[in-house]
Structure 1
């Protein structure tokens, strides 16, 4: 046996082992995509809600009965837990409860405690899943093609799993990723969709490859820095050589709109963040225009009754 020869890693079995291997093969773990089962989750929550509502109705009926009761024991059970527990758990020689009414109420209280905990946990889990970031569109597309074996324009392929699992990627809105890229914005998706071939990639099979998140993040950071510099110094340079008042206002508005569009479309900034960033950018340009640099190259902007005039000094 040749000691320098290493056997290639064994391929996993087709089916569940192969799908699991594929999900775990991504170094960034962005392919860990699973179904949320939104319809079933909603139905489960509705059923739990209905069950808790029935328990609530039973509790209300017991309370209405106790309102008209003249028994001191009944009233004590509503004000002191130890009395309620003692009366509800007392048993006779045959093991039967001596106070069936209080025993039934304690059983109901414990059932409500258990069921409402289950209901709240289901609500919290479903809320977490609904608020989680969706998988990247490029990741879904690549995983769907691999799963359905529709590479290179194949119309019909052999899916990795059969039966009901064959529809795993039918609804992209029913999918959740256990991990999504940290900087998942429109600029990243654009670069990945149209320029992904320029990035170094690793592959575990002939039909798909992985681009490291760190590599993409560095590229996006460089592009964002260049774009930011262009928006700032480009606007200042263009405004420096303009001395017509109306042209200054037009260019100021144009650069501000361009900045707002870039921030709103290329990033994941919220509306308030876009507004704040645009206001700050516009303020910088206004300060520049109104200062000594704006139009100071041999002239000044004069506002008169007849409109804007530009006069040049000697």
Structure 2
């Protein structure tokens, strides 16, 4: 039995446990404006240092010093200028080196952060509801960050500057619809009577992504195998050539729509697959029509 004294207290500890347990609720501020402003400051500082370096290079080139005129041609003398009085160019180079490393690191981090997905509406609402319920988050946060996730009555008001560490991968439209809409709807209708709660305190139920992916994959396979067969059967039952051509156009459009909805196929892949499907239909119609004409 878990010692109650070890349970996280209200506030950040309890919220952290909830986010750690349900990774889809791990939603944080992106700080896009601050990150951009930080990069702009680095960029401005480096611009000043770059201009300073160019002035020093030009001045040293015409300098009457012993080795200053060859600093731009031989790194050895520039690196050893620290022992001389004219070491400002070397100091500037070293300052640029440090700032440039920081700038590149921040730039790469920002590039990675910008690719993290926005939280979907369902997960954001779930987190907002958890924060507001007295037996869960209980609105325990009282600092300036208490409104980070908005409120349940304004679910999208703060979505622009939020990110989710778990994006759900590159899901197709069908899988996204099942996980975010259909499962939620079915759970509210009758699955809540059958599904065991994960946390007795909060009453939260969760569904494994692998299980949902398994079912959506099976449905996609059934649709993919049934549509060509259905098209052939229907076209075989129709005699009039104009009706066949109309049905061929309809099945081709449906096939392309299914590719877009059930898969992550690119535009080029959809175009190629649809063209192949249409070509098969044309061959079938031509062959079948020729056989019908020969029999008459």
| 1:95 alignment counterpart | none
Give, in angstroms, the shift of residue 127 of structure 1.
Answer: 1.0
Aligned mate of 2:73, from 46, 55, 79: 79
Uncovered stretches (5+) of structure 2, i.e. residues with no partner: 151-157
Deviations 1:100-146 (A, max 9, x none): x3x21111101101111111111111111112333343222212221
Bigger share in strand: 1
| 1:313 alignment counterpart | 295
Deviating more after overlay: 188-197 vs 110-119: 188-197
Q: TM-score, normalised by structure 2?
A: 0.83
Residues 235/150 of structure 1: CA separation in 2 closer, same or farther (3 Å cut): farther
Give, in angstroms, the shift of residue 255 of structure 1.
Answer: 1.0
Give, in angstroms, the shift of residue 7 of structure 1.
Answer: 4.9
Bigger share in helix: 2
Please state whether the residue corresponding to 2:274 is helix, strand or coil: helix
- Higher-Rg member (1/2): 1
**CA RMSD of the aligned region, Å?**
2.6
| 1:173 alignment counterpart | 160
Residues 254/146 of structure 1: CA separation in 2 closer, same or farther (3 Å cut): same
**What CA distance in whole angstroms lies between the structure 1 residues aligned with 2:255 and 2:172?**
17
The answer as to whether partners of 1:252 and 1:285 remain within 8 angstroms in 2 is yes
**What CA distance in whole angstroms lies between the structure 1 residues aligned with 2:17 and 2:138?**
18
| 1:194 alignment counterpart | 182
| 2:217 alignment counterpart | 221
Uncovered stretches (5+) of structure 1, i.e. residues with no partner: 1-5, 91-97, 152-156, 301-311
Please state whether the residue corresponding to 1:30 is helix, strand or coil: helix
Deviating more after overlay: 278-287 vs 48-57: 278-287
The answer as to whether partners of 1:146 and 1:207 remain within 8 angstroms in 2 is no
Aligned mate of 1:273, from 246, 269, 287: 269
| 1:145 alignment counterpart | 129
**What CA distance in whole angstroms lies between the structure 1 residues aligned with 2:160 and 2:273?**
31
**What CA distance in whole angstroms lies between the structure 2 residues aligned with 1:211 and 1:281?**
36
**What CA distance in whole angstroms lies between the structure 1 residues aligned with 2:228 and 2:3?**
54
- Within 5 Å, give how 1:1-314 maps onto structure 2: 6-7=1-2, 10-26=6-22, 29-88=23-82, 90=83, 98-99=84-85, 101=86, 103-149=87-133, 158-170=138-150, 171-182=158-169, 184-192=171-179, 193-196=181-184, 197=187, 198=191, 200=195, 202-204=197-199, 205-291=201-287, 294-295=288-289, 299-300=292-293, 313-314=295-296
Residues 248/160 of structure 1: CA separation in 2 closer, same or farther (3 Å cut): farther
Deviating more after overlay: 135-144 vs 254-263: 135-144
Give, in angstroms, the shift of residue 13 of structure 1.
Answer: 0.4
Deviations 1:214-264 (A, max 9, x none): 111111111111221232211111111122222122111111111222222
The answer as to whether partners of 1:135 and 1:175 remain within 8 angstroms in 2 is yes
